[in-house]
Amino acid sequence: MGVKMRYIEDDLKNKTILITGGAGFIGSNLAFYFQENHPDAKVVILDSFRSGETLSNGNLKSFGHFKNLIGFKGEIISGDINDKDLLLDLEINYDFDYIFHEAAISDTTAQEQDLMIKTNVNAYKDLLELALKHNANMIYASSAATYGNAESPQRVGREAPNNVYGFSKLSMDHLSREYMKDAQISIVGLRYFNVYGAREYFKNTTASMVLQFGHQILAGKKPRLFEGSDKILRDFIYIEDVIQANVKAMHPKKSGIYNVGTGKARSFQSIVDILQKELGTSLKCEYIPNPFIGSYQFHTEANIETTRELLNYTPAYDMEDGIAAYVDEIKRIYEEEVK
Ligand SMILES: NC(=O)c1ccc[n+]([C@@H]2O[C@H](COP(=O)([O-])OP(=O)(O)OC[C@H]3O[C@@H](n4cnc5c(N)ncnc54)[C@H](O)[C@@H]3O)[C@@H](O)[C@H]2O)c1
């Protein structure tokens, strides 16, 4: 399992790459991409891993899990991006060429505004300073949550976050623009839309609905959808395309903030329909009231014109392809972790 396609020519020999949040979903996939496609690069992961500590919504404070990294041979540091001594240690003892910043409170329903701003925004500023000192290009995770219910297709510059998570990501983007003005390094913010794929299982209930519906169906349960799910549309993007965007963002034509989606909105209902086709089932769905109305996104679709033009990004997976590529892994996780 892993990204087999190489997206850049450079072999990255003697290059050192820091991946914050590397024990999480997207960060661990990035780590394996480099290990498999650029074995001469040195990859260092920084992640706080899970400690059992929970937020007021009951979800874990951080989702990093060692099982996402089984087979990874690079260096792993367990630590908090809010720890200034640790960042100083990284500054003195390493020399990074690229920083992929994925660490965050990634839970869109988290209510702790103080922790969210501190972790997602303030620690990011410290990492930007580290990038400047090392002359390392910065690629960081922004989010489609910056758009809230802004009109679709969403474009950079027309944001309306409707939760503190989206607000924190937008604040990262504002900060980045300030740094872009006179930085010698490139800085790229990637606004991922709804990502699904291998190594997301340990995000528990915050994992994508592709995985969650997949497991409901495998358990023989009725897939549980919010009422009106045929009209709740999102731009669902397969992990492989997210990796492509990250790798191409190492040397952008221009620093900036870019949408990372497929450019097509699909309904939650169609996830279930495609999964049932792949899994050979025809279970009846159950429809439940949506408890998140007010802070929920009802229609997202990425405008990816500038991502195509300035990052040379071309999404390769529509939802049928992504789910088909993922379904064996959904079954494996079900057998090994859920049953
Ligand atoms: N998955 C998506 O659909 C999606 C969409 C938009 C944006 N994003 C963003 O992409 C990034 C990666 O998301 P993901 O889906 O892989 O989530 P994830 O929760 O699996 O990964 C985040 C990682 O950061 C670590 N972390 C959290 N707080 C930390 C801290 N203080 N210090 C060090 N490490 C810490 C966690 O342990 C976890 O391993 C996040 O910034 C997230 O906000 C994700």
User: What are the tens digits of pLDDT across the range 267-279?
Assistant: 999 999 999 999 9
Q: At what angle do helices 209-218 and 319-333 cross, to 10 degrees?
A: 50
Q: What is the mean pLDDT of the segment spanning 110-126? A: 98
CA of 228 to the centre of ligand 1 (A): 29
Tens of pLDDT, residue by residue over 202-232, are 999 999 999 999 999 999 999 999 999 999 9
In this predicted model, what pLDDT tens digit does every residue of 13-31 receive, in sequence order? 999 999 999 999 999 999 9
Based on the residue annotation, tell me whether 203 is a catalytic residue of this protein. yes
What integer pLDDT is reported at residue 334 of this predicted model?
98
- Mean pLDDT across the stretch 119-128? 98
Q: Are 261 and 193 in contact (CB under 8 A)?
A: yes
3-class DSSP state of 263: coil
Beta bridge partners of 99: 18, 138
pLDDT at 196: 98
How far apart CA 262 and CA 314 sit, in angstroms, is 8
Write out the two tokens for 25. Answer: 């979903």
Say whether pLDDT at 246 is over 70.
yes
Please enumerate in sequence order all residues whose Cβ is within 8 A of that of 42, keeping only pairs 6 or more positions apart, or say none: 14, 15, 16, 17, 74, 75
Segments making up each domain of the chain, as ranges: 16-333
Placement of tokens 């087999």 in the chain: 4
Distance (Å, rounded) from C-alpha 147 to C-alpha 235?
Answer: 12
What lines the ligand 1 site, CB under 6 Å? 21, 23-27, 47-49, 62-64, 80-82, 102-106, 119, 141, 143-144, 192, 194-195, 203
Residue 249 CA to residue 301 CA, distance in Å, equals 21
Q: Which ligand 1 atom is the nearest neighbour of the CA of 194?
A: 3
Among candidate residues 42, 169, 203, 248, the one labeled active-site is: 203
DSSP 8-state class, residue 192: E
- Give residue 72's pLDDT band: very low, low, confident or very high (50, 70, 90): very high
What CATH number has the domain spanning 16-333?
Answer: 3.40.50.720
Q: Would you say residue 193 has pLDDT above 70?
A: yes
pLDDT (mean) for 307-326:
98
